[in-house]
Amino acid sequence: MDVLIRMMSRIDDVLETVGSGDVVSLPQIVAIGSQSSGKSSVLENIVGRDFIPRNSGVCTRRPLKLDLIKVDRTQEIEWAVFSHMPDKIFTDWTEVGLEIVRDTERLCGTNKSICDTQIGLRVFSPHVVSLTLIDLPGITRVPVGDQPEDIEDQIVNMVCKYIQRPNTLILAVTAANVDFATSEAIKLARRVDPSGRRTLAVLTKIDLMDRGTDAMDVIMGRVLPVKLGIVGIICRSQADLNKKTTIREALEKEKKFFRSKYPSVAARSGSAYLRRSLSKLLVEHIRATLPDLTMKISLLRRQFQSQLANYGEPVKDFSGNEVKSSAIDIIDGAGYFTTDELAGGARINFIFHDTFGSTLAQVNPLDGIAPVEILTSIRNSSGTSSAVFMPDRSFCTLVKKQILRLEEPSIRCIELVQEELKRIINDALSAEYQRFPRLSNKLRDAVISSIEMRTAPAKEFISNFIKNEVSYINCKHPDFLGAKKSAISKMTGDSEHGSEKRECAIVEFLIQCYFNIVRKSIQDHVPKVIMNFIVNAVKDTLQGFLVTTIYKMESGSERNMKELLAESEFIAQQREELTHMLKAYSQAETILQSVRNETNTL
């Protein structure tokens, strides 16, 4: 037991340092068997404390989960806490026993009913091995009191739920004064553990066997073989309890009994031997789980390590080069996302090609021009002599008006991109630079104000671009000339005098042609202007920021830098926590290594 205690407490240390019970599950010991076979008594002998309620009637009516927790030897006190009343500390074991009865009655009534809601009890003591023991209601056939008809099925299901977990060691308890061949405990254990790897049989009440019979055949495995062994023990009888016999006295008496009545198997019988066997099984179990535990712990340790690496080194030394290089890193990073992400950025491209493109396409070149307007302009431009049709002059006035209609969507496009850019900068900075909120705020302010500053000239440029288009209608534009020639010859045909209707159609056609040329050019230019005036400016601003910041650092105005590189409290705190966890996990790894060495020498 000593080795086990040492190992368990080391593993406890591991679990405590890493603060997680989910990482590993240590074995649970579950006692199963018929009612009154002595399950609670056996567990009590293992623990060496008498607070598990037991008597000759039905008393274990709910699963009792007993977590034994080894505490520092310097504290001589022992105490217990129930999970249903976490604030109350029990130091009197009689009180603990009474509370178990009380809470059982609260849920199951007073008339022998059972239920599967577990009672949780944590016992803290310097004298125990850290273990989890589970005491279950006994298997019974005939319903008594308020028990339902299917009481046997209910209990069997409940028991199976506990013992089918591969991590449990099954203590199959059978009383020596019943037929071992029909033992309910062995029957159930075999169902969930057919190979018998985790079943240990316990034979109780050997002192109560009929005169002339003995337990030798059973203990030797001649009735039913049990791979891990069949251990005969004697617990305190009801009479012993009434006489207030202590566990220590009972253990002495048990020893004497086996020496005199079963000398050939005395060395492998009794409660002390049961504890040793159990301890050996647990050590083996621990040895088997160590590789897995070690792997999990080291995996988690590596995870913490890489998380920590992401947060970077703490910025403490403000005079050193470290600060400078971390500032450069940050600003470099910012430069990276603007040049690469924005220029080819999907969000901005969408505005250019989909939003802007389709708005322009929707502008109808002839919208807002009434036929009478065209006629008037034709008449005006041909003056008094109506002999020659001169479409150019009339079309020029009309097309200028239409071109102006392209200004509004172009300006709108600039505004949309501006908004989107601000959003992108915001997102990127808050995602990437949360570590240094002040620096990132300052960077954001600089970039956003430069975006705003560059927007006005961009708008002005576009307005001028449109003014240029309007100020001179280039009737000799190569794309226009061809279209015009073919249209006029087609529409006038061989007739010398074009009718007004025909002339109108020609003017309309020319407006469309010219308008399309200008529209194409605007669609091509606006994105270029935006890139040149605004998006690239973001890049310039960042570079400027970099240059001045580094210059400031080099010229020694460190106070400014100190402020800028102040970390967010959140990050600092996260780093601290991670550092702590990392240390704990590294420690856990070391402990595990030494436990492994220890098991290898066993």
| Binding residues vs Mg ion (CB under 5 A) | 39-40, 60
Buried b (16+ CB within 10 A) or exposed e, 188-227: bbbebbeebebbbbbbbbbeebeeeeebeebbeeebbebe
- Which among Mg ion, ligand GDP, none contacts residue 235 (Cβ within 5 to 8 A by kind)? ligand GDP
Closest distance to ligand GDP from the beta carbon of 14 (Å)? 33
E-only strand ranges, 188-298:
199-204, 230-232
The single residue among 133, 219, 235, 582 that binds ligand GDP, judged by CB under 6 A, is: 235
Q: Which residue shows structure tokens 């029990």?
A: 90
With CA atoms as reference, report the closest residue to 348 among 430, 422, 261, 427: 422
Reading the block at residue 388, the tokens are: 């020659």
Using DSSP, state whether 135 is helix, strand or coil: strand
How far is residue 259's CA from residue 273's CA, in Å, rounded to a whole number? 13
* 484-493 contacts, C-beta under 8 A, 24 or more apart: 484/510, 484/513, 487/513, 488/391, 492/389
Residue found under tokens 């910041």: 549
Q: How far apart are CA 589 and CA 114, in angstroms?
A: 44
> Measured from the CB atom, is 68 or 537 closer to Mg ion?
68
Residue among 257, 253, 251 nearest 274 (CA): 251
Sites for ligand GDP among residues 288-327 (CB under 6 A): none
Residues found in the chain = 602
Region near ligand GDP per CB under 6 A, out of 12-20, 86-94, 203-211, 310-318? 203-211
Q: Which residues contact 597 (CB under 8 A, 6 or more apart)?
A: none
Helix or strand (DSSP H, E) at 175? strand 168-175
Residue 30, φ and ψ in degrees, nearest 5:
-115, 125
55 binds, among Mg ion, ligand GDP, none (CB under 5 to 8 A by kind): ligand GDP
Rounded least distance, CB 56 to Mg ion, Å: 11
Q: What is the 3-state secondary structure (H, E, C) of 24-63?
A: CCCCEEEEEEECCCCHHHHHHHHHCCCCCCCCCCCCCCCC
Q: Could you say which DSSP state residue 164 is in?
A: T
Nearer to ligand GDP, 138 or 498 (CB): 138
**Given candidates 18, 26, 30, 36, which one binds ligand GDP under the rule CB under 6 A?**
36
We find the least distance from the C-beta atom of residue 175 to ligand GDP, in angstroms, to be 7
List the structure tokens of 488.
């006029």
Stretch touching ligand GDP by CB under 6 A, among 202-210, 262-270, 445-453, 538-546: 202-210
Contacted entry of Mg ion, ligand GDP, none for residue 598, CB cut-off 5 to 8 Å set by kind: none
Q: Is 185 or 300 the residue whose CB approaches ligand GDP more closely?
A: 185
Closer CB to ligand GDP, residue 203 or residue 323? 203
Binding of ligand GDP at residue 104 (CB under 6 A)?
A: no
Q: Mask of contacts with ligand GDP, 236-265, x by CB under 6 A? A: xxx--x------------------------
55 versus 594: smaller Cβ distance to ligand GDP:
55
Nearer to ligand GDP, 124 or 273 (CB): 273
Q: Can you tell me which of 231, 234, 330, 413 binds ligand GDP, judged by CB under 6 A? A: 234
Q: Which lies closer to ligand GDP via its Cβ, residue 207 or residue 508?
A: 207
Query: Residue 46 or residue 522: which is nearer to ligand GDP going by CB?
Result: 46
CB of 32 to Mg ion, least distance (A): 11
Minimum separation from the CB atom of position 588 to ligand GDP (A): 37
CB of 167 to ligand GDP, least distance (A): 23
Of 8, 26, 46, 54, which lies in the binding site for ligand GDP, with binding defined by CB under 6 A? Answer: 54
Exactly one of 204, 377, 418, 440 binds ligand GDP (CB under 6 A); that residue is: 204
| Consecutive H or E run containing 168 | strand 168-175
Look at residue 234 and give the partner it binds from Mg ion, ligand GDP, none, a contact being a CB closer than 5 to 8 Å depending on partner kind: ligand GDP
Phi and psi of 277, rounded to 5°?
A: -60, -45
| Least distance (Å) between residue 71 CB and Mg ion | 27
Query: Which range of residues in 48-56, 141-149, 317-325, 367-375 is near ligand GDP by CB under 6 A?
Result: 48-56
Question: Total residues contacting ligand GDP (rule CB under 6 A)?
Answer: 24
Instruction: Select the binding partner of residue 410 from ligand GDP, Mg ion, none (C-beta < 5 to 8 A, by kind).
Output: none
Beta-strand (E) ranges in 327-449? none
Shortest-Cβ-distance residue relative to ligand GDP: 54
Quick one: 239 or 387, whose CB is closer to Mg ion?
Answer: 239
For Mg ion, give the closer residue by CB, 143 or 312.
143
What are 173's two structure tokens?
């308890």
Minimum distance from residue 100 beta carbon to Mg ion (Å): 11
Q: Looking only at residues 122 through 141 of this chain, which bind ligand GDP when binding is defined by CB under 6 A? A: 138
Query: 566 to each of 183, 438, 562, 572, how far by Cα in Å?
Result: 72, 7, 6, 10
Output the six-digit token pair for 396.
Answer: 């020029």
Interatomic CA distance for residues 461 and 522, integer angstroms = 12
Which residues, at least 6 apart from 602, have a Cβ–Cβ distance to it below 8 Å?
3, 283, 287
List the beta bridge partners of residue 82. Answer: 85, 121
Binds 548: which of Mg ion, ligand GDP, none (CB < 5-8 Å by kind): none
Q: Are 84 and 104 in contact (CB under 8 A)?
A: no
- 49 scored as a contact of ligand GDP (CB under 6 A): no
Q: Is residue 40 within the footprint of ligand GDP (CB under 6 A)? A: yes
Task: Count Cβ atoms within 10 A of the Cβ of residue 432 and give its class: 0-12 exposed, 13-18 middle, 19 or more buried.
Answer: middle
Query: Of the two residues 56 and 74, which places its CB atom closer to ligand GDP in the complex?
Result: 56
Q: How many CB atoms lie within 10 A of CB 295?
A: 10
Closer residue to ligand GDP in complex, CB, 14/235: 235
Question: 12, 13, 116, 207: which one contacts ligand GDP (CB under 6 A)?
Answer: 207
Choice between 170 and 428, CB closer to Mg ion: 170
The nearest distance, CB 171 to ligand GDP, in angstroms, is: 11
Interface with ligand GDP, residue 450, by CB under 6 A? no
Q: Under the rule (CB under 6 A), what is the footprint of ligand GDP?
A: 33, 35-41, 54-56, 59-60, 138, 204-205, 207-208, 234-238, 241
